Chain A
């Protein structure tokens, strides 16, 4: 094969201007400006490591710039565990080229061949004690030029920072109560807004008495447009009081009915759908099928349930320019939708990122940004801060989509899999803003005239798919057929939540496999290894198994289970082994994981992400399910939507298989599927019952026992 011409990394090709990524400031600082944003995952630190490493500057002089549409490269959305792949590779290539540009300039100035020069802490020196620096040369070296393909980043051995654990840059501020979060950011003259939302998400506002709200001390304005209504006040307390008064004066006409939460599979399988054949494989010489095993798995709607309610600020200058501060995952994409709703040209809107609480996907961050822009229009040129209530955060944001998954396998006389069929019924897993001709922001559906409600779609398979994510088996079965049925109705609003469909699909696949292995009397780890060809896959399973002492001797009241997947079939490899205690309830005692992300830029950051993913997945499995009756979401508080507590959190051990020679991939979503399956399989090992409806609670255990007896 002939070697292909070098190309620029994805994000650098889209944003080739070098100065949009890196600038040398006069005071010995390097500003690094990625388009990806900090959402609690530590990405900013990993990117700083990469930049400092390639440039040979001290990481302490790297200033990371928050993404803004006013200046940053457009890297779309911070999602899909792609930030290291996109931003990391772009920065590595850009910095490698910039380093060479400066070496050439230093060579000219110092009269020393570039190959004889070295860079240390930003100082460029050579034989005869000649020296200069990035900052001395910055005036004469213009980075207002496009990157060229083929820059040569450092070899693994030359890297001093990437690949080693680094302390997160944001953590000191957070333990010393410095103002990093959008919630804590003060702007001069800041006013406070609140938006009135109905109990039923699709209800229409048919009457609104404003008098009581207007009488609140510190009242500023009521904003009403169709079913969108809100208040602007001088203080947050006044805004709360005015909202309370407004709520009392509101009359609503009920909207669309919600499904029956007690039988999600029946609902999902009865809706009109768009069906897609995801993948097929046919066997040349199929073994004879003796019987067929068929199982259905259900995952409920899952809430993001971020620990902070969503918040945004907006400030108009004149009637046609607005500045928005947001914790959105995609400042440019949000700007697209704001432009559609506000009917403004893109260049009249600046969207700037500020950190929010942990973000696990498309939560109401974007919705509240539009709320703020709409309310701020009534505030003259003063900035307005809008914060959602806990109840609105738990009921009006998009949810992770419920899924019904059916797997059928034809088995031969030895219970070997001859053919595998996997079908998914689910709403789409993506309705992010900024990608279509119609906005997907909540208030856009409430204005008069309303924008049509966007029925969630699925990302293309090339991007990892949506409901079908991780549905194509990683195992070497002789034949398969994978189908995805996306709902064309959407009574419960859904969009991207961590892993999209992968958690549900991996749960189904790995539990089904466990069942087949048990039918054969074969060890589930050995069974998996026997069906895998990829050595990296086998390595994570073996590593987790070894570390967990697989398989521990049976002990009454305890159980062990295994789960494996490669996220998106192309990303991080992860294997999990769960140790649980079970009787009427399940307690997860320990999770042992092994992960391979290729080059781990910040190994402790990878461990932190895997650990966090494992604990969050345990919470999803044991506790979480969005609750609703036929007219409204009822899980509107932490009491109604409990998550895992400190005393319930399992011990988590993570082994990172470092592969510095392989391009890095993200770690944030690798653990959810394997952990989910490992817990369900451990429940069977412990209690002899297969729970196929998540979450695994006392109720679902009893239901599964009744079904199996």
Chain B
């Protein structure tokens, strides 16, 4: 490596960026407070790596969730300058030289620092029977698998890409105002199963959809689809379920059962 290149690298290393983190330590704090850190700036450094740098070199008490570092586990969701993002998929270069403010995912209770309580979200995912309910339960394994054409798969493929990171719940003011709302990810997952040609559980799931707290709590803000790191488009899933729910209502008027 030439001397010039080394100097150029050194110059990048010498730059610093300010990271402000909303801290909350339940055993000693009454409420969260902001703490400022300054770390060396690298254009290829992710927010998650910045947090790891802080934990390794500046304050080991800071808590945050992470696992895969490649936007597939859905663990490192947090608010970056008030916008829900995955820490591993957001980079310092998009904020430098401005200060970056990190906060635990909005709309969820803070467990500690950047860690949130996700129990309500998980409960909602479980509620919608997120598995295929076959029409013929007695089908024997020896009769073979359920076949599906690429067209039939296309109908739900997008809605099956969810990694349960919770960013859409943080982006949803309706969930923020009413925690009883089933919410974007759970409803997208519900649509994923209702739209699957191998599934016969739609009627059961429509009972959840048709409730006030089902799709009808959604006012189509649409921010869930903007923040989704996997392009799931929960807003579209919910609007399509609204159409199904309206059909259900109309059919029910003429054919009550």
> Do A and B come from the same complex?
no
Chain B residues in contact with chain A, CB under 8 A?
none
Question: Taking beta carbons and an 8 Å cutoff, which residues of A are in contact with B?
Answer: none
